[in-house]
A and B are shown apart, each in its own frame.
Chain A
Amino acid sequence: MLRHTPFHSRVAAANQTQLWSHWSGHLVVEQYQLSERWEHAAVRNAVGIFDASPLRKYRITGPGAEGFLARLLARDIRRCAPGQAQYTIWCDDRGFVDEDGVVFRLGPEEFLLTAYDPNLALLAGRAGALPAAAGKVAIEEVTDELGILAVQGPRSLAVLAKLADPELAHLRPFELTAARIGSAEVTISRTGFTGDLGYEVICGAGDAPEVWDRVSEAGRPHGLVPFGQVALLIARIEAGLLLYRVDFQSARRAENDEQRSTPFELGLGWMLAGIDDDSRPFVGRRALLRERDEGRSRWVMMGLAVDQLAYDEAHRAAGVSPPYAFHPVHTEALVYDGAENGDAVGFTCSFVYSPTLQRHIALARLTPGAAVPGRRVALEFTVNHRYVRIGATVARNPLFDPPRRRATPAPLPPGLAP
């Protein structure tokens, strides 16, 4: 039986297309409007709202919570003060990534961890195996108790600052604050999955309809539109944000090591800045140290920018209009060295036409030798039923990285600045 999110009554009313998809057993909107591209454009140009409630949520509390998470998570939770959040991962003992999520530190001894898949057995098991955590950590799944509404785009601050708290402008990326929207007590964090200026509102499930209504109302004169899965998944590829079960697989559910990947191989090595700190022996650390010190990474996750003019010309010369991938393509395609008949040097994980960047782009895992920004590679396409290689350039992620994403105080649109 498919479940409804706390926003379902509002989401259903706004869904003009009746295109739905399933996310962790919940009914979610594929696209609200007939043009998924316009939903994406609203996120880049105005403001959009997205129902992220199906994320699993775990409340982790107690005097041993920090120590437990410091041991479990690859990124150092001790550097995350109350009022901050972290994008994080957890690994297995061999250093392979199991899953990713965001951990919100609501208080010194209170954390909220999100994940895509159920992780309660893993969390409880790891806590049980840690003597220091015995009796000092409580782990509770609160997935159904909370709604999450992402408010994303250049006008997200204009909408929320007026509605909830004018001080939101000073919230730095991955900071959070308690706020009130109407009668609802909420948590607002400067987080999201679009790579734009944006916030997420975490509210009690019962308050969700009111939060949706008030945000929608406040956003109307700012061009606010709800956006669905398709628009989100275009935005996240532009933003270089990895998608679990697409760009990487869970280490404990993978079938072989080809399907497994390490943080270094996923371009997440920056999370391990404190790996040399012996005071934090997190799960997978030893294997990751060995990988780093011995240079054993097999891949590096990079961005690819396709030569759009060459792509168009290859089709036009063959007498066909170039097909644009407006929906993300999550099937793997090989990446070749850029030289004529070059060898395979990696594979794409996600591919899409980016309206923002005006070209097709990809997230791709490349061999360390090929993972050099500016390096020329080629992708294979079929044109008139024949394979044709088209050039692309390797680039660092994110391919789209507007200054407003990080600017603090966050910018207000022209005419609305104080």
Chain B
Amino acid sequence: MSAAGTDWRSTGPWDAVVVGGGHNGLVNGAYLARAGLRTLILERRPVVGGAAITEELRPGFQFTTFSYALSLVRPAVIHELDLVRHGFQPLVMPSTFCPMENGDALVLGPDRGENLTEIARHSRRDADAWLQYQHDLTMVSRALQPIVDAAPPDLLDPSPEARAELAALARHLGGLEPKVLNDLVRLLTGSAADFLDHYFETEVLKGWLSASGVIGSRLGPMSPGSGLVLLFMHLGQHDGDLGSWSFHKGGNGGFTQVLARAARAVGAVIATGAEVANVVTAGGRATGVVLADGTEVPARVVVSATDPRTTFTRLVDPGELPAQLVSDLGRYRYQGVSSKVNFALSGLPSFPGLGDGRDHWRGFTNIAPSIEYVERAFDDAKYGWYSTRPFIDCAVQSVLDPDMAPPGRHVLSCFVQYTPYELKGGASWETEREPMADRVQATLAAFFPGFDDLVLQREVVTPLDIEQVAGLPEGNIYHGELLASQLYWFRPALGWARYRTPIEGYYQCGSGTHPGGCITGAPGRLASHAVLADLALRRP
């Protein structure tokens, strides 16, 4: 530990204090430090990473407790923060495995022609549709890249600069091919099911694709709004390939450790076990923070990497904020529906339909054999209960990354929906956690005979755990749902989408700001631009 690491309490005042060492806090702190600001990142827990951590819960077995895959990390963040030098190593998934209830499966891999053959095995018509679907989605995703990488233009600012930004956005959208614009609107407003039905007839293909439209959202694939989430999940890239996903070396905790090294390398100081109680303000300006232990940390600028509810109602007195903002935040929806059930396994699960092969385990394994399967799983959640037969996104990360488990053993990360944060009838996750995980395990055992015999250990992470451990309200993995009404100009609230807050010197950089959740680093990066622009303006 460097001297700065041990002495951070007495080495103020800081130019900038970042509240929360999740991935966006680390990114933001790194950008601020890189610009020359004396920057302190304060993390409540003993490890940085927030919801992107890797924990060795059993000797040699690395569990990705919460977040478990990467795609949306912005290329600008990778290159501007020189992440490769600090160990950035995404292992791009070469396969997707969708087991079916009849024992067959859909397995897609890295080869275009092989995939067409595999899809044609299920439907010859869908092979053509697959190419068109991928093309159409890529065109929309590409059109959105510059929008993801810039702060939303200010709708309310009449200045010529702000008007010019709005005009540039209009020009960009107006310059799209008409079909791309049409597809964009269909995805932003419609359901994943409607969008997919237009292309495909194969249930398992649609089931898999529709599932990406409900990740982290209290939506079924037939709900309007699921098209937007499906699109969001396709906005990332690896090696220039839009929509591709990876496991980071060492899990997503491996990724946030890369960010921490990158932040330290440019001079940021990271303090763990340092919980911020509140932001200190004087005369409408932020002047620093007070820790839960009473330590005062003065700073010119405070940036909150926490979610909007924490940023605006817990770290500061909402009485200091405009009533409209407080009211808007009151209807900002979290309502988490996701859980994780993670396993240490003595061996690779078996799927008789694919024999002894193991190549199909090198990416996501998707338990969502049809749109109806996912929608019925959602039905349970609509009325306040967890799914009888849940949608499960499985990842045996140890197949791609042998560092995740001892030789021959495996870790299986399962993302589970639906498990609503609020259970009906006053039921509690404290009592329902194991029964819920039993359903997950039974579902896995139904697809993978003998699964139960492989289980060495099971970790259950309910929405309540996500809230209490990772600090994400109601267990929503995005710091608030990815609804059209909560994105872009409206994330987290109209008038406050450009990372500033009504309190001068107080900023927001969490996933509750544009462009939203998942591991993108974009809010952290874009918020740093706002901070640095304001500091430059205030300089004499």
Q: Contact between A312 and B89 (Cβ–Cβ < 8 Å)?
A: no
| A221→B91 contact, CB < 8 A | no
CB within 8 Å of B: which of A191-217?
Answer: none
- Interface-lining segment among A22-30, A39-47, A135-143, A240-248: A39-47
| A34 and B401 contacting across the interface, CB-CB below 8 Å | no
**A356 part of interface (Cβ distance < 8 Å):** yes
CA distance A34 to B83 in the complex (A): 28
When C-beta atoms are compared, the residue in chain A nearest to B109 turns out to be: A34
Whether B94 lies near A308 (C-beta < 8 A) is: no
For residues 152 through 209 of chain A, which have their beta carbon under 8 Å from a beta carbon of chain B? Answer: 155, 158
Q: Closest CB-CB distance, B526 to chain A, in whole Å?
A: 15
Q: Which of chain B's residues have a CB closer than 8 A to the CB of A316?
A: 142, 145-146
Q: A38-B92, A155-B402, A309-B75 are in contact. Are A355 and B114 (CB under 8 A)?
A: no
CB distance from B429 to the nearest CB of A (A): 32
Q: Mark A348-359, 1 if CB is under 8 A from B, else 0.
A: 000001011111
A87: interface (CB < 8 Å): no
A409 contacts partner chain B, Cβ-Cβ < 8 Å? no
Residue B88 CB within 8 A of the other chain: yes
User: Is A37 part of the contact surface with B, judged by Cβ < 8 Å?
Assistant: yes
A353 contacts across to B, CB distance below 8 A: 239-240
A359 contact set on B, CB distance < 8 A: 79
- B110:A37 contact, CB within 8 angstroms: yes
> Would B407 and A221 count as touching, CB distance under 8 A?
yes
Q: Which residue of B lies closest to A355 (CB)?
A: B239
Q: Which of B75-118 contact A (CB under 8 A)?
A: 75-76, 78-80, 83-84, 88-89, 91-92, 94, 109-111, 114
A358 engages B84 (CB within 8 Å): yes
Considering the complex, give the chain A residue whose CB is closest to the CB of B113. Answer: A34
Q: Which residues of A contact B75 (CB under 8 A)?
A: 308-309, 312, 358
Q: How far is A337 from B64 in the complex, measured between Cα atoms in Å? A: 47
A308 touches B92 (CB 8 A): no
Cα–Cα distance between A358 and B84 once the two chains are bound (Å): 7
Residue of B nearest to A159 (CB): B407
| Assembly CA distance A46 to B359 (angstroms) | 15
Q: Give Cα A44 to B91, complex, Å.
A: 10
A414 CB within 8 Å of chain B? yes
Which residues of A lie under 8 Å from residue B89 when comparing CB positions?
Answer: 44-45, 356
Q: Which residues of A contact B485 (CB under 8 A)?
A: none
**A46 with B402: CB separation less than 8 A:** yes
Which residues of chain B are within 8 angstroms of A33 by Cβ–Cβ distance?
94, 110, 359
Distance, CA A41 to CA B238, complexed state (A): 13
Contact A41 B138 (CB under 8 A): no
A414 and B403 contact, CB distance less than 8 A: yes
Chain A, 29-69, contact with B by CB distance < 8 Å: what is the 0/1 string? 00001110110010011100000000000000000000000
Distance to closest chain A CB from B496 (angstroms):
29
- The reply to whether the CB of A415 lies closer than 8 angstroms to some CB of chain B is yes
The distance in angstroms between the C-alpha atoms of A359 and B79, with both chains bound, is 9
Question: Considering the chains assembled together, what is the distance between the CA atoms of A355 and B91 in angstroms?
Answer: 9
| A222 at the binding interface (Cβ < 8 Å) | yes
Q: Does B36 contact A (CB under 8 A)?
A: no
- In the bound assembly, the distance between CA atoms of A355 and B78 in angstroms comes to 13
Bound form: Cα–Cα A96–B14 in Å? 59
A65 to chain B, nearest CB (A): 42
Considering only residues 120-149 of chain B, those with a C-beta below 8 Å from chain A are 138, 142, 145-146
Question: Given A158, A321, A356, A357, which contacts B142 in the complex, CB threshold below 8 Å?
Answer: A321
> For the complex, is B487 an interface residue (Cβ under 8 Å from A)?
no
* A413:B239 contact, CB within 8 angstroms: no
* Given the contacts A223-B399, A309-B76, A312-B240, A35 and B110 also touching, CB distance less than 8 Å: yes
Task: Determine the distance from Cα of A316 to Cα of B110 in the docked complex, in whole angstroms.
Answer: 24
The residues of B that contact A35 with a CB separation of less than 8 Å are: 94, 109-111
Cβ of B60 within 8 Å of any chain A Cβ, yes or no, is yes
Q: How far is the CA of A158 from the CA of B406 in the complex (A)?
A: 12
> Residue A34 contacts which of B88, B110, B138, B408 (CB distance < 8 angstroms)?
B110
Verify if A107 is at the interface (C-beta below 8 Å from B): no
Residues A37 and B239 in contact in the complex (CB < 8 Å), given A309-B76, A355-B92, A415-B60 = yes
B240 interface neighbour in A34, A158, A223, A321, Cβ under 8 Å: A321
Residues from chain A with a CB closer than 8 A to the CB of B83 are: 358
A315 to chain B, nearest CB (A): 9
Does B400 have its Cβ within 8 Å of any Cβ on chain A? yes
Nearest neighbor of A402 in chain B, beta-carbon distance? B87
Q: How distant is the Cα of A32 from the Cα of B21 in the complex, in angstroms? A: 42
Inter-chain contact A358/B142, CB cutoff 8 Å: no
Q: Which of B109, B138, B399 gathers the greatest number of chain A CB atoms within 10 Å?
A: B109
Decide yes or no whether B249 CB sits under 8 A from chain A. yes
Interface presence of B497 (CB below 8 A): no
Q: What 1/0 mask marks residues of chain B from 408 to 431 whose CB sits below 8 Å from any chain A CB?
A: 100000000000000000000000
Proximity bits, B237-276, A CB within 8 Å = 1, else 0: 0011110000001000000000000000000000000000
With both beta carbons as reference points, the residue of chain A lying nearest to B249 in the complex is identified as A45
A54 to B114 CA separation, bound complex (whole angstroms):
31
Which residue on A lies nearest to B115, using beta carbons? A34
- List chain B residues, Cβ under 8 A from A44: 89
Bound Cα distance from A38 to B400, whole angstroms: 9
Chain A residues 296 to 314 lying within 8 A of chain B, measured CB to CB, are 308-309, 312
Task: Please indicate the chain A residues that have their CB under 8 angstroms from the CB of B241 in the complex.
Answer: 324
Q: Are A41 and B240 in contact (CB under 8 A)?
A: no
| B110–A358 touching, CB < 8 Å | no
Out of B60, B94, B114, B403, name the residue touching A38 (CB < 8 Å): B94
Q: Smallest distance from the beta carbon of B278 to chain A beta carbons, Å?
A: 38
* A38: nearest chain-B partner, CB-CB: B94
> A416 to B407, alpha carbons, bound, how many Å?
9
CB distance from A360 to the nearest CB of B (A): 10
Contacts from B to A (Cβ < 8 Å): 59-60, 75-76, 78-80, 83-84, 88-89, 91-92, 94, 109-111, 114, 138, 142, 145-146, 239-242, 249, 359, 362, 399-403, 406-408
7 A–B pairs (Cβ distance < 8 Å), ordered by A: A33-B94, A33-B110, A35-B109, A38-B362, A46-B402, A359-B79, A413-B403
List chain A positions with a Cβ less than 8 A from chain B. 33-35, 37-38, 41, 44-46, 155, 158, 221-223, 308-309, 312, 316, 321-324, 326, 353, 355-359, 413-416
Besides A34-B94, A37-B92, A38-B94, 10 other CB < 8 A contacts? A34-B110, A35-B110, A35-B111, A45-B91, A46-B402, A221-B408, A223-B399, A326-B239, A353-B240, A358-B79
